[in-house]
Amino acid sequence: MKHLTKCLTILCIIFTMGLQGCVVAVGAAGAMAAKVANDRRTVGTQLDDQNASSAVAYQWSKSEALKEQANLQVDVYNGVALLTGQAPSQALVSEAVQRAQSVDYLKKIHNQLRVGSPVGAGTQANDIWLASKVRTKIVADERVPALQVKVVVQDSEVFLMGKLTSLEANAAVDIARNVTGVARVVRAFEITQ
């Protein structure tokens, strides 16, 4: 009897944990649906942007030197690519940009790659923390439609992307500049009327 009680207890715990996972999945799906529905880009453009990001990453993966020596990140918003990260030489930076330019969908490329050694895990962790602080401040400010702003942080530099009016873009930059730990803010916005 004691064994049966133990088994039932374990099954109940597993079942409850499974339900919690479902609740989290449903909540995440709902949040994603809200983001997609409130995005100023069409759903097709959002998918094209994701595919373009994957295509650039694939182009980079075909280079052993880039895979082994560089820390590269690509973010695409409305056909505009933002390249961030580090490579140890200008030749590798140029190769990364060239490979990104081979992706037909891209209308424009913001090359923000830096020549230098790839940043370490501590710096990357700080960048994640800094990005969350910037996003939190933007969400809390009613001047900026938070769902329209993409925040990218590399080595304490904040890069802002999105489809905003001039007033919204200026407010977003002002918010980011005033977050402790931000070394520099770079605008990569598409300005709308």
C-alpha distance from residue 46 to each of 73, 87, 169, 187 (Å): 18, 28, 20, 20
- State which residues form the domain around 170: 121-192
C-alpha distance from residue 83 to each of 77, 80, 161, 185 (Å): 12, 10, 12, 15
Asked if residue 162 and residue 107 are part of one domain, the reply reads no
* Matching residue, tokens 């649906």: 33
Structural domains of the chain, count: 2
Residue 20 forms part of a structural domain = no
Q: Last residue of a domain, which of 88, 115, 142?
A: 115
Looking at residue 115, its pLDDT comes to 98
Q: What is the DSSP letter of 146?
A: G
Using 70 as the pLDDT threshold, list the residues of the chain that sit under it.
1-37
Asked if residue 138 and residue 78 are part of one domain, the reply reads no
Helix (H) or strand (E) holding 73: strand 71-77
pLDDT digits (tens, 9 = 90+) for 30-65: 444 555 567 999 999 999 999 999 999 999 999 999
Q: Last residue of a domain, which of 60, 89, 115?
A: 115
Looking at residue 193, its pLDDT comes to 80
What's the start-to-end Cα distance of the chain, in Å?
A: 72
Taking the C-alpha atoms of residue 145 and residue 61, their distance in angstroms, rounded to an integer, is 35
Model pTM?
0.80
| Angle, CA of 130, 123 and 138, to the nearest 5° | 10
CATH number at residue 60: 3.30.1340
Residue 5 forms part of a structural domain = no
Looking at residue 86, its pLDDT comes to 98
Q: Is 192 helix (H, G, I), strand (E, B) or coil?
A: strand
Residue 134 forms part of a structural domain = yes
Asked if residue 184 and residue 150 are part of one domain, the reply reads yes
Sheet architecture: strand order including 149-154: 149-154, 157-165, 184-192
